[in-house]
Amino acid sequence: MGLPVITIAQMREWEQASWSAGITEAEVIERVGACVASRAVELSTGSKPILVLAGKGHNGDDASATADFLSTRGHPSVSVSVEDPVKALAELPLQNIQEHSLIVDGLFGIGINRPLNEGWQRLIGAINDSNVPVLSVDTPSGLNADSGEVQGAAIRASVTLTVGAPKRGLLLSQAAEWVGRLEVASDVGLVHCPFRTNLTWIESRDFEQFPPTRLVSTHKGTYGHVAIFAGSLGYHGAAVLAAGGALRAQPGLVSLFTPESVYLPVASQLQAAMVHPWRGDEEVPRSSSAIVCGPGMAAIGFPAVLKEKLRELWMTSSLPVLADASALDWLPAAEIRSTAVRVITPHPGEAARLLQQTTETVQSDRVQALRNLSARYGHCWVVLKGHHTLIGRSEGEVFVNSSGNPYLAQGGSGDVLAGFIGGLIAQPRLQKDPARTIGYAVWQHGAAADGLSRTKRNWTVAELSQSLNS
């Protein structure tokens, strides 16, 4: 499942293996140009032309091929070969740059290994100051694709279309401001990638025919029963959103247990979910096949008996258990006395609190933070939310999500995700491959946000829930 996240050195080896197999650089450049041109047309708006900036190296060759394809397709574009940045800036003053709908950045590729001089820094600064959207080819010019560090100055891309496979540095937190949305042009004619790495990029094609088609002879008992423990005074909406997310996963049954103080407002907003007041002495329904706990349980004075019950379920239940939000703080750092799937879904701030670190430390090495969390809580699955959400455990592959956008940063989106994951892992057929099931849930959650953002910006979390699986 997915593409390996690789280093610059591995990319060079991959290219060399392709040339040795008889594939020519010209063939690959032509295919990269076609991919970039197609994406550029999608990103450009109105009748203004696209500005293509081509540098001296192979990245410039890719940009030149892009310009050729744009010309062939009759799309208005202006191609500029940039060898001298001072001359280029004189010919492209700021007001002229702003006359374009999109800039294709092909100035420097992944081979850059030294700080850029003042002339290049001034040109890049003018491009960034123009506020024209930028599509960078392979890597934003000036950004080290291994370390994610800026080499004096870097293009601030709206979208980076990297070639072959994602480069490690492009996924680092410090690179996000420059990379923008990272996308991969994977089908460019190279031989099959010879590397497998501990980081794997997941995208839509990894979930073709998933979840599998349901058989006609099945019934609701075939698809599991998720029990959700959520909500508290002042936070009853989280329980509703978690139940809504679970329902979009289409398990056979959804039961929501919520404190008596918020039972009425929660129950009045739900129809298909069975809502029960929860005092702490009730048993999980015997037909349950997964448990979700934590969304909206943030009220001060939340009953200790309920917290203890959730700890017990986490430690001993033979069912898959997902802990989110406030429940994360109640988990014991110990081995789990069950072999069933365990999942936690922290955002960076929650991860920092659990690891007794700063958020900055977590963000500086998100993969290590994920592994540390998993080890601390019984080798559980961790969904470390944020830009490029990570899915993994203390050992083995870590999956990097490719979908989603900044408009997910609103209260309630995590509650929807927790319920959606729970509704999926409640289904017996989907429990057999937790990595794919959890990865699908995270990807679909982000893809739903992407779909909404293509039509409007002011969408709500309630609409996000309705868009899952649509």
Q: Give the pair of three-digit tokens for residue 64.
A: 């030149």
Tokens 């090495």 locate to 365
pLDDT at 93 over 80: yes
Model confidence band, residue 306 (pLDDT cutoffs 50, 70, 90): confident
Would 407 be classed as within a structural domain? Answer: yes
Would 15 be classed as within a structural domain? Answer: no
Count Cβ atoms below 10 Å from residue 334 Cβ, excluding itself: 11
Q: Give the pair of three-digit tokens for residue 400.
A: 């990097």
Q: Give the pair of three-digit tokens for residue 429.
A: 């057929």
Would 11 be classed as within a structural domain? Answer: no
* 181 plus 328 within the same structural domain: no
Would 403 be classed as within a structural domain? Answer: yes
Q: What angle do CA 375, 376, 380 make, to 5 degrees?
A: 60
- Domain holding 103, by residue range, is 21-195
Q: Considering only CA atoms, which of 450, 394, 351, 388 is closest in space to residue 173?
A: 388
Mean pLDDT of 179-189: 96
* 173 plus 114 within the same structural domain: yes
* 225 plus 180 within the same structural domain: no
* 270 plus 378 within the same structural domain: yes
CATH of the domain at 294: 3.40.1190.20
* 430 plus 288 within the same structural domain: yes
Tokens 């050195």 locate to 9
Count Cβ atoms below 10 Å from residue 376 Cβ, excluding itself: 18
361 class by beta-carbon count within 10 Å (0-12 exposed, 13-18 middle, 19+ buried): middle
Number of structural domains in the chain: 2
CA dihedral of 141, 145, 148, 149, whole degrees rounded to 10: -60
- How far does the chain reach from its first CA to its final CA, in angstroms? 22
**Ranges assigned E (strand) in 281-338:** 290-293, 321-323
Whole-prediction pTM value?
A: 0.95
Q: Which of 162, 195, 228 is the last residue of a domain?
A: 195
* 74 plus 136 within the same structural domain: yes
Separation between Cα atoms, residue 465 and residue 187, nearest integer Å: 33
Mean pLDDT of 379-401: 97
Would 264 be classed as within a structural domain? Answer: yes
Q: For a pLDDT cut of 90, what percent of the chain falls above it? A: 88
* 370 plus 235 within the same structural domain: yes
Buried b (16+ CB within 10 A) or exposed e, 191-212: eebeeebebbbbbeebbeeebe
pLDDT in the model for residue 470: 64
Q: Give the pair of three-digit tokens for residue 109.
A: 């590729």
pLDDT in the model for residue 126: 96
93 class by beta-carbon count within 10 Å (0-12 exposed, 13-18 middle, 19+ buried): exposed
* 254 plus 396 within the same structural domain: yes
Separation between Cα atoms, residue 296 and residue 278, nearest integer Å: 14
* 137 plus 230 within the same structural domain: no
**Ranges assigned E (strand) in 308-353:** 321-323, 342-344
Please, are residues 149 and 143 in contact by the beta-carbon 8 Å criterion?
Answer: yes
Would 142 be classed as within a structural domain? Answer: yes
Separation between Cα atoms, residue 253 and residue 224, nearest integer Å: 7
* 300 plus 364 within the same structural domain: yes
Q: Give the pair of three-digit tokens for residue 139.
A: 């890597």
* Backbone φ/ψ region at 460: left (φ over 0), alpha (ψ -120 to 50), beta: beta
Q: Give the pair of three-digit tokens for residue 16.
A: 């060399």
| Separate counts of helices (H) and strands (E) for the chain | 16, 17
pLDDT at 312 over 70: yes
DSSP code at position 352 = H
* 430 plus 368 within the same structural domain: yes
pLDDT at 165 over 90: yes
141-152: pLDDT as tens digits: 999 999 999 999
DSSP code at position 6 = B
